[in-house]
Chain A
Amino acid sequence: MYDKIFKPKKIELLTGEVVEEKVSRTWIYWIIIIIIIGLSVLLTNFDFSALSRSGLFLQKLASMLPPNWSYFDKVLPPLLDTIKMSFFASLLGALLAVPFAILTANNIVKNRLVNGIIRFIFMLARTLPTLVLALIATYIFGLGTFAGVVAIFIFTFSFIGKQLFEVIETVDMGPFEAAEALGVSPLKAFFIAVFPQVLPTYLSTALYAFEGNVRYAAILGYVGAGGIGNILNDRVNFRDFASVGMILVSILVTVMIIDSVSALIRKKIA
């Protein structure tokens, strides 16, 4: 359709053949993008003049340093809570994702209806933002870490589930067929023939999810779902920025440690 409006250029080669060079569509993509950006600026009433006041931002940032070191013992319990939350929810999510991923992989379970329903569940769970889920969870289960665990669990479950079934569907089915020829039932055949092939990806994905979840759990506290976000929010409200700085530093160190350990493990698995 685009080609009808902007007719391709005809080039004649030395041999007499005529070749068509389509007019580049890039510039129209750019126009669309610029329009979208422009509209966005309008919609958000973005105040460009404010950028000149960015000095204020750096000032606020500076007030967080030096961090209030003595605050650390108040930081530790909620920090540990956050780690526990992420670990437990990630573990549960990772474990439960396996049976559901098996059921929805169309090379293992050939029932399209089952495949479709579970994929829909995965999609639903993935789509709602974790924070929204956490917010809702606090209303249903009350404030505190349980709500956070629920939210992280749902996200991890759908994230790992999707990655897992996609990998399962690309696996070499030869060994699976050989297992069937041996008289092995499909479920057992899955574990001996398919699972070893997807195990590295599964573990890698699970670790990645855990890494991300620890960071996210810090935010969840903001909606009251427990963990370190709670005291963070608290200290900000009290304008106690030195303590805020301490909390942020603790989070940073924790995340760094977890990331390095996770990277090490992932190297060993590959």
Chain B
Amino acid sequence: MRGKMNSQIIEEYNRRPKKWFYYLLIFIILLAISIWSTSVVHYHGVSEHGALIAKNIFTGIFHPDSSLIFNFTETGLAYLLLQTFAIGILGTLVGAIIAVPLSFLAATNLVPNWLAYLIRFVLMAIRTIPSFIYALLFIPVVGLGSSAGVMALGFESIGMIAKLFIEAIEDLDMGVIEAMDAAGATTFQKIRFGVLPQLLPDLYSILLYRLDMNLRDAAILGLVGAGGIGAPLSFAMSGYKWSSVGAILLGLLVLIIFVELISSRIRKKLAKG
């Protein structure tokens, strides 16, 4: 069996799986889609105007408008950033309030399949509607301003919070619940000591993660008049007030980094338990 005739080797060589055709096919398909998609890129070249703007934004970042920064009144940067932050927090909260019960209804280990899939479909539909549509829908209801932003963010978050939370529910260790059953626990006790300790850390983690993303979205909702820093940013840009733009961008950067640092520290602590 060892060190035998060459013919055995040639035989083995011929046995090799001829996967290359399959890979070539995949490659061609990808290439085709890529070429098709490049048609969307109309590069007009960075016009002189555009290059000027880029330069201006750059200078604006390095010479931010200090009157904005140090203005601690309602029109100042700090207030607007805090407002953006607040919209993010409340939005996440609203999202959680609606998403959590729906998630329980969509978990296949808790409810019959048909119900779970129905709710999941509804969740997917909710998730597809962009946040600014929600904002536009809510403005007539709650008026212009931050409240609309909160509701819009809230609804947009439902999708992702629900998706992650459903996963967490389905990962539940039912063994613990069974053991409690065997020990004679009441339903309330089972939930309080069996289910919640498993789910809550996951929930907090999900919410923090979502908060992170909502903050970024909150920034832009201002564009639809939903409060926060979006509107001033947009005005500053269309008014070519580059130092203001710079100040706002810097402030936004600081806010997001700050929240991210805190949230990742909290998430680490949650993971360690």
Taking Cβ atoms with an 8 Å cutoff, the residues of A that contact B are 36-37, 39-41, 43-47, 50-51, 53-54, 56-57, 60-61, 81, 83-85, 87-88, 91, 123, 127-132, 135-136, 139-142, 144-146, 149, 215, 218-219, 222-223, 226, 229, 232-233, 236, 244, 248, 251-252, 255-256
Closest B residue to A129 by beta carbon equals: B216
- Which of B90, B133, B253 sits near A248, CB closer than 8 Å? B133
Determine how close the nearest CB of chain B comes to the CB of A81; give it in whole angstroms.
5
Q: Contact between B90 and A41 (Cβ–Cβ < 8 Å)?
A: yes
B33 to chain A: which residues have CB within 8 Å? 87
- Which of A44, A56, A140, A222 sits near B46, CB closer than 8 Å? A140
Q: Which of B99-107, B143-151, B171-179, B181-189 contacts A (4 or more CB under 8 A)?
A: B143-151
Known: A44-B149, A127-B260. A232 touches B253 (CB 8 A): no
Known: A46-B146, A142-B50. A130 touches B90 (CB 8 A): no
- Which of B50, B82, B133 sits near A236, CB closer than 8 Å? B133
Q: Contact between B146 and A132 (Cβ–Cβ < 8 Å)?
A: no
B237 to chain A: which residues have CB within 8 Å? 135-136, 139
Interface size class of B (residues with CB under 8 A): 35 or more
Number of contacts between A and B (CB, 8 Å)? Answer: 165
In the complex, besides A44-B147, A57-B137, A236-B133, 13 extra interface pairs with C-beta distance below 8 angstroms are: A44-B86, A54-B141, A88-B34, A88-B40, A128-B253, A132-B233, A135-B223, A139-B53, A139-B57, A139-B237, A146-B43, A218-B130, A222-B223
Give the CA-CA distance A129 to B220 in the complex, in Å. Answer: 8
Q: Contact between A141 and B50 (Cβ–Cβ < 8 Å)?
A: yes
- Which of A43, A57, A229 sits near B82, CB closer than 8 Å? A43
Give the CA-CA distance A87 to B30 in the complex, in Å. Answer: 10
Closest 9 CB pairs of A and B: A129-B216, A44-B146, A40-B86, A50-B142, A84-B37, A131-B220, A84-B40, A43-B86, A88-B37
| B234 interface contact, C-beta 8 A | yes
Q: Which of B8-16, B17-25, B108-116, B121-129 contacts A (4 or more CB under 8 A)?
A: B121-129
